[in-house]
Amino acid sequence: MMTAKQRFLTALDCGVPDRLPVTTHHVMPYFLCKYMNGISNDEFFDYFGLDPIRWVSSEAPDPSRGQRYGPEQEEPKAWFGGRWKARHIETDTWRVEVQEITGQQYPMVRYRFLTPRGTLSMTLQFNEYTSWLIERPIKNARDIDLLGAFLPAPRCDVEGVNRAADEYGERGLVRSNIPTFEVFGQPGCWQDAACLVGIERLILATYDDPAWVHELLGILMRRKLAFIETMAGARFDLLELGGGDASSTVISPRLFDRFVAPYDSQLIAAAHAAGQRIVYHTCGGMMPILENIVAMGPDAIETLTPPAMGGDVDLAEARRRLDNRVCFIGGFDQFHYFTGCTEAETRAAVRRCFAEAGAKGGYILCPSDHFFDADPALIKAYADEAKQCRYD
C-alpha cells in the first residue's frame, strides 16, 4: 500500500503504482462554499477520499536584486465575499498601486505599475467564479521596454517551500507553477504574453511584427529563468508550465513551433537542471500538437480535455501515439459526469479513462481543469471507482 505521495510520484515517473491515483486540479472556493459549508482544501480531499494536492506559493523578493515587499494594500476577494491584504514585490524602479473602482456590476480593481520611464496599468473584474482582464497593460508596442528594464524577477522561497513539504509529508503532492506576470498571467511565455497583450492582437503580431513578439517572449522567458535558477533544493513534486492560449484550438501547430516551443523548452530544461519536474498544461485542443508538446521534454501533460468539453483529446489515441513517454494527467469529463447523471455513469466514465490511458501506469485521473458546480455524491463515486482501478 503506497502513500499518496508515492502513488503520485510513481505515476509521474511513468511507473505502475498500487492503484490508479485520483485527484482534482485546483479546488475552487466557490464549490467549497456553495456545496461543502466552506471546508478547507485538506478537508475536501479527506471527505471525498481523493489523493491530496497542496498548492504552495513560492515567490519572494530577492534582496540581492534590490527587491522588497511593498506596503500592504486592500484588495477584494469576490469569491469569498471578503477582502485580503496583498503585498506586491517592488523595487526603487517598479512600484505597484492598487485602486478599487466602485459602482460596478462586479468588483473591479485597477493596478498601476510605476517606473521611471512610464506607467503601465491593468484592470481586473471578479465574480464568485473567477477573475478576468478588462484592461491589458501592454497597449503600445514599446510598453514592453518597461517590462524589460524594470519588471522584477522574484526568487524562489526555498526554505518556505521545504517547510510546507515537511508539513505535508507523505500526505500528497506538493505543486506550484512557474511564475506568471504579477497580478494576472500564465506560466508559459506565450501564454503570459497573451494575458499582457490579448490573444487576438498577439496572433496578428506574429504575422505583422514577429520580431516584436520574439522580443516580448524573450523578456518574459528571462524573468522566468531567473526564478528557476533559484529553485535548486526546493522540494516541489511538480511545477506547472503552459496555459490554454497555446492549445491547438487557439493557435496552429506552426505558431506553436515558432513562438511557444523555443521558449518553454528552455524553461523545462532549466527546471530539470534545478531538480524539478514539469507538467505542461494545455486546456483546450492537444491532438495536433501532442508530439510537439512532448518534444519540449515535460515530465507530464494535462488537461487532456475531451471533445464534449470543448477540447479534442482521444485518450486512447493519445496514449497510442505517445506510449509511456510522458505521464498523463486529466481526461475526465467533469461537466457531464459530476452533474446531471447517475453514479453508475460516473463510474463507467472513470473506467473508460483508466482503460484508455492508465492500463500501463503513468496516469493520474483528474478532471479536465476546474469545476464549480458538482454533485458531491458523484465526486464520491468518481473517487471510489478510481480506487478500485488496480493493475494486474
* pLDDT tens-digit series, residues 11-56: 999 999 999 999 999 999 899 999 999 999 999 999 999 999 999 9
pLDDT in tens, 72-81: 887 766 555 5
pLDDT (tens digit per residue) in 121-173? 999 998 888 889 999 999 999 999 999 999 999 999 999 999 999 999 999 99
Q: Are 27 and 39 in contact (CB under 8 A)?
A: no
Report all structural domains of the chain as residue ranges with CATH numbers, in order of start: 4-60+152-387 (3.20.20.210), 63-140 (no CATH)
Percent of the chain with pLDDT over 70: 97
Cβ atoms of 245 and 265 closer than 8 Å: no
- 84: nearest Cα among 76, 95, 92: 76
Q: Which of 287, 279, 283 is nearest to 320 (CA)?
A: 287
What phi and psi, each to the nearest 5 degrees, are found at residue 266? -70, -35
What is the C-alpha to C-alpha distance for residues 364 and 354, in angstroms, rounded to an integer?
9
| pLDDT score of 369 | 87
- Residue 268 burial (C-beta neighbours within 10 Å; 0-12, 13-18, 19+): buried
| pLDDT for residue 81 | 57
- Dihedral of the CA atoms 172, 178, 179, 183 (nearest 10)? -60
Q: What is the pLDDT of residues 328-343, one digit of tens each?
A: 999 999 999 999 999 9
CB 325 within 8 A of CB 294: yes
Distance CA 169, CA 320 (A): 35
